[in-house]
Chains A and B, each alone.
Chain A
Amino acid sequence: MALKGNLRDFSTTQLLNLIHLARKTGALTIQVPSGVTSLFFREGKLVYAATSGQDGHLTSMLARAGRLTEEQARGIRQHAADRSDKELAMLLISAGYLSQRDIVDSVRRDILETVYGLFAWSDGLFHFEPNRLPSEDVITVSIDLENIILEGSRRMKEWERLKDELPDLNMALKFTDRPQTQLRNINLTVDEWRVISYINPRNSIKQIAQRIGMDEFQIRKLVYGLLQVGLVEIVEPEGLPPKQPPVTEMVSRSPAAKRSVIHKLINRIKRL
């Protein structure tokens, strides 16, 4: 089934979060005014990115990362025009020009810059194609999406949207109990750590912000990032008076009578 839509309705951050949580494999293509970008994922991790407005040749990536000068990149490309990125990387490593680490870091940097560039766009068609992976010739890496999601949230320009996503600062936070959350692989900023230290169902988000001197916008932005990466979830603050149950005919009945009514309803609907 299709996974497509517009960034207006489902942001890049939300898309990456979905791919991360569902551990998807495939290609996400996003069409924004600056061009078409394809992000490739294997089991929920980003492995490659390509954008129509940018030369994706390995030598260009190495030049952008400062590992080669423009002149060196041009020269290598001319002499090794028929080589794939992987073959070229092997040649550069064998010749002692660059280490494997230099190359992997440069590719990773390029992929990250491509994906971060997408966060600036709030409008653009997207489409996810399951199981489509990049060509065998290119160098792929494996990047956890948690940190990208956090960084993407930091870069999000649509401040108003934060308010939509987190409308009520009187709610509290608790650490998610989802077992796959890998706390060790997440790099938190100092401010994020400060918020984390106050996370407790007894503290409302507003109280945390007051305690550490953040304004509403700052706390919304920070909590939004933590929510998107799946570290925390929103809960009703503890210590509030319990909600009044609705006054209904059902409530006044005994549990046995309620169960009997529900069983009757089940049987009736089955017979429809």
Chain B
Amino acid sequence: MQTVKMVITGPFNAGKTEFIRSVSEIEVVSTERKITDTSSRIKKETTVAMDFGRITVDNDLVLYLFGTPGQKRFDFMWEILSEGMLGFIVLVDSTRPETFREARQILDVFRTYADTPYVVAANKQDLADAWPVEDLRIALKIHPGVKVLPCVATDKESVKKVLLELLYSILETVPE
């Protein structure tokens, strides 16, 4: 059995758990805990270890989706999770510009872990306050060659599109 993995990262409350939940064939294994610090104003529970979803391709191949912990004090987990990843997705909450700088920093950290393809998913595009995707590209200083994709993490079709775009980017890096 061959297993491959992708990592879904991004700032606290970007929607990583929902993203994995939308496509995982198993109930997402998520270690969520009640929040006791100032982040509790934003949401009641957060992922403290990691999210873990699975998509079985066939008898010989399984794709695992790992979501990184949202809070910064668990960033020691990131490098462990990134080991051997096919590629990664940086999920950004398009309605919260206060998280853009952190998203950029997370992206830079992950790029140092592995030279693998990645895409940026601009989540919560269904909300009125969402920044447009092209404005997010500029705000996050994303290189023109990297895909910045609209996303609604609770919508399966939207999540599928992001995963497919990442896979197409990965395919481009593999020689014929």
The answer to whether B114 touches A266, judged by C-beta atoms less than 8 angstroms apart, is: no
Main secondary structure on A side of the interface with B = mixed
The answer to whether A9 touches B167, judged by C-beta atoms less than 8 angstroms apart, is: no
The answer to whether A272 touches B138, judged by C-beta atoms less than 8 angstroms apart, is: no
One of B37-45, B69-77, B96-104 at the interface: B96-104
How long is the Cα–Cα vector from A22 to B148 in the complex, in angstroms?
15
How long is the Cα–Cα vector from A249 to B61 in the complex, in angstroms?
12
Residue-wise interface mask of B (154-176) relative to A, using a CB-CB cutoff of 8 A (1 in contact, 0 not): 00100010011001101100111
Residue in B86, B98, B174 whose Cβ sees the most chain A Cβ within 10 Å? B174
Q: Interface size (A, Cβ < 8 Å)?
A: 37
Q: A2-B130, A261-B61 are in contact. Are A269 and B170 (CB under 8 A)?
A: no
The answer to whether B97 touches A6, judged by C-beta atoms less than 8 angstroms apart, is: yes
Q: A258-B174, A264-B57 are in contact. Are A2 and B86 (CB under 8 A)?
A: no
Q: A5-B98, A246-B84 are in contact. Are A259 and B132 (CB under 8 A)?
A: no
* A227 CB, min distance to chain B CBs, angstroms: 8
- Measured between beta carbons, the chain A residues less than 8 angstroms from B55 are 268-269, 272
Q: Interface size (B, Cβ < 8 Å)?
A: 46
Residue-wise interface mask of B (33-70) relative to A, using a CB-CB cutoff of 8 A (1 in contact, 0 not): 00000000000000000000001111001010000000
**Nearest CB to that of B171 among chain A residues?**
A262
The answer to whether A269 touches B138, judged by C-beta atoms less than 8 angstroms apart, is: no
Residue-wise interface mask of B (116-139) relative to A, using a CB-CB cutoff of 8 A (1 in contact, 0 not): 100000000000111110110011
How long is the Cα–Cα vector from A6 to B156 in the complex, in angstroms?
32
Contact of A246 among B61, B98, B114, B160 (CB under 8 A): B114
Residue-wise interface mask of A (209-220) relative to B, using a CB-CB cutoff of 8 A (1 in contact, 0 not): 000000000000
Contact of A4 among B57, B129, B144, B170 (CB under 8 A): B129
Does A101 sit at the interface, judged by CB under 8 A? no
The answer to whether A266 touches B167, judged by C-beta atoms less than 8 angstroms apart, is: yes
One of A10-18, A88-96, A113-121 at the interface: A10-18
- Measured between beta carbons, the chain B residues less than 8 angstroms from A255 are 174-176
The answer to whether A269 touches B115, judged by C-beta atoms less than 8 angstroms apart, is: no
Does B4 sit at the interface, judged by CB under 8 A? yes
The answer to whether A266 touches B168, judged by C-beta atoms less than 8 angstroms apart, is: yes
* A9 CB, min distance to chain B CBs, angstroms: 4
The answer to whether B98 touches A268, judged by C-beta atoms less than 8 angstroms apart, is: no
- Measured between beta carbons, the chain A residues less than 8 angstroms from B57 are 264-265, 268
- Measured between beta carbons, the chain A residues less than 8 angstroms from B58 are 264, 268
The answer to whether B128 touches A2, judged by C-beta atoms less than 8 angstroms apart, is: yes
* B175 CB, min distance to chain A CBs, angstroms: 4
Main secondary structure on B side of the interface with A = mixed
Contact of B135 among A18, A262, A263 (CB under 8 A): A18
Does B29 sit at the interface, judged by CB under 8 A? no
- Measured between beta carbons, the chain B residues less than 8 angstroms from A261 are 2, 4, 61
Does B85 sit at the interface, judged by CB under 8 A? yes
- Measured between beta carbons, the chain B residues less than 8 angstroms from A264 are 57-58, 61
The answer to whether A1 touches B130, judged by C-beta atoms less than 8 angstroms apart, is: yes
Given A246-B116, A250-B4, 13 additional A-B pairs, CB 8 A: A1-B128, A1-B131, A6-B97, A9-B99, A246-B85, A249-B3, A249-B84, A255-B176, A261-B2, A262-B171, A265-B63, A266-B168, A268-B58
12 contacts across the A-B interface (CB closer than 8 A): A2-B130, A6-B98, A9-B101, A14-B139, A164-B101, A246-B84, A246-B113, A247-B84, A259-B174, A262-B174, A265-B63, A272-B23
* A interface residues, Cβ below 8 angstroms from B: 1-6, 8-10, 14, 17-18, 21-22, 164, 167, 178, 243, 245-250, 255, 258-259, 261-266, 268-270, 272
Please list the 10 inter-chain residue pairs (A to B) with the smallest Cβ-Cβ separation, ordered nearest first: A5-B97, A248-B84, A9-B98, A268-B57, A255-B175, A9-B97, A18-B138, A246-B114, A10-B97, A258-B174
